[in-house]
Chain A
Amino acid sequence: DAGVTQSPTHLIKTRGQQVTLRCSPISGHKSVSWYQQVLGQGPQFIFQYYEKEERGRGNFPDRFSARQFPNYSSELNVNALLLGDSALYLCASSLGQTSGLSHGYTFGSGTRLTVV
């Protein structure tokens, strides 16, 4: 079975540009969460989507937006990129809105975004 897949794996953008990152959850998983991980720090929660609706939002500016499609895949969009947006963007999927005992969230390998 395929795990959580993210694309692209690496990306270089210029300040002010816009970027779209994509995530396909594990088959059967209906929840997708997005995290930003800056070098040397733990992942920080950005969004959670469940059944195509936003169910949680972290402390990120409105430049960050996301959506979930009927097939439960998701896109994360970041507008007006800043140098500080350079990070590893992680997608996690889970069966339901919460991970449930003993299952946890399954993370993808992330998209490495570099803003220059």
Chain B
Amino acid sequence: LAKTTQPISMDSYEGQEVNITCSHNNIATNDYITWYQQFPSQGPRFIIQGYKTKVTNEVASLFIPADRKSSTLSLPRVSLSDTAVYYCLVGDDVGGATNKLIFGTGTLLAVQP
């Protein structure tokens, strides 16, 4: 499975847009890109998943360039409650043999008032 690289931490202020970039240079053709959010003492929560170009849902957008070697999670107008660790994962997640999620160390996003 492809290895991912993310910044260890990021700081932001309430109301700002936050972009967290993840590098995955060895992503395979069948791999999807998935982002999870985790609050302290809770399990990770699925945020968004994509394969290429742009995906948007009610909480975030995911931008994936044509070469798919990186991806950017965009959180619009963050609030204090968005302070959490964000994980980028890549893997064959649809009907494939892979049945495990490989988490890196994630990005700790700290939102200030």
Contact = CB atoms under 8 A, between A and B. Distances in A.
Interface stretch (B10-18, B42-50, B64-72): B42-50
Interface in B54-109: 87, 92-96, 98-106
A35 B83 CA distance: 23
B41 A109 contact: yes
The B contact surface, by secondary structure, is: loop
A40 B40 CA distance: 10
A97 to B, nearest CB: 5
A110 interface: yes
Interface residues of B, number: 25
Contacts of B93: 98-101
A98 B98 contact: yes
Given A106-B46, A109-B43, A98 B101 contact: no
9 contacts: A35-B103, A55-B99, A98-B98, A100-B94, A101-B32, A103-B46, A105-B46, A107-B44, A109-B43
Interface of B: 32, 34, 36, 41-46, 49, 87, 92-96, 98-106
Interface of A: 4, 31, 33, 35, 40-45, 48, 50, 55-56, 58, 88, 90-92, 97-110, 112
Given A92-B101, A98-B99, A100-B93, 14 more contacts: A31-B99, A43-B44, A48-B99, A48-B100, A58-B100, A90-B44, A97-B99, A99-B93, A104-B49, A107-B42, A107-B43, A107-B44, A108-B43, A110-B41
